[in-house]
Amino acid sequence: MADNRRTWILVDGENIDATLGGSILGRRPQPDERPRWDRILSFVADQWNQEARGLFFLNASINLPMSFVQALLALGYQPVPLSGDPDEKVVDLAIQRTLKALQAHGDDVVLVSHDGDFVDDLGVLADGSRRVGVLAFEEFRNAGFAQIPGIRFFDLEYDASAFDAQLPRVRIIPIEEFDPEQFLR
């Protein structure tokens, strides 16, 4: 890989938040059940041994949560606040445009989302000239991502260790990792 290559981390915060609250917890997450976004930057930088830059896409059509924006800036993310009509999926549109724009760059890409709306654009980037990954909850990741040759998959909790609390997930356990003591407590 080129010395000046970096990894762009594109965060679909709405998608991660909706999956965490609606599908995993069934309620609004407590502070220790929210992702530690700084760990994601560090995890990706360590995985691919290069600079990782985060773009955090926010729907600011109604309001802009300034305390969250300030926290993202302090963690090293570039917030991307967007607005549009109520029926527009502004975050999805912006991420799709960013994925298309990255075709002209040689950088690597990690998408933080489960959303199948990005499968085609991510697939175009997975042409063998760069590393492409999806960082999400494995069991909620759109199946279309698995059809993209060469894509790397990372789990937000198990690989990136992005949470302070253990989430109530049912995980498929590879037999080589199975420890019966985990179930005999």
Q: Is the pLDDT of residue 18 over 80?
A: yes
Sign for the CA dihedral angle at 22, 24, 28, 29 comes to negative
Check residue 177 and give its pLDDT: 86
What average pLDDT does this structure show over 98-107?
A: 96
What average pLDDT does this structure show over 99-113?
A: 96
65: pLDDT confidence band, cut at 50, 70 and 90? confident
- Give the percent of the chain with pLDDT over 70: 98
1: pLDDT confidence band, cut at 50, 70 and 90? very low
What interhelical angle do 66-75 and 37-48 show, nearest 10? 30
Domains (ranges, CATH) in the chain?
Answer: 7-182 (3.40.50.1010)
What average pLDDT does this structure show over 11-25?
A: 93
Say how far apart CA 41 and CA 147 lie, in whole Å. 26
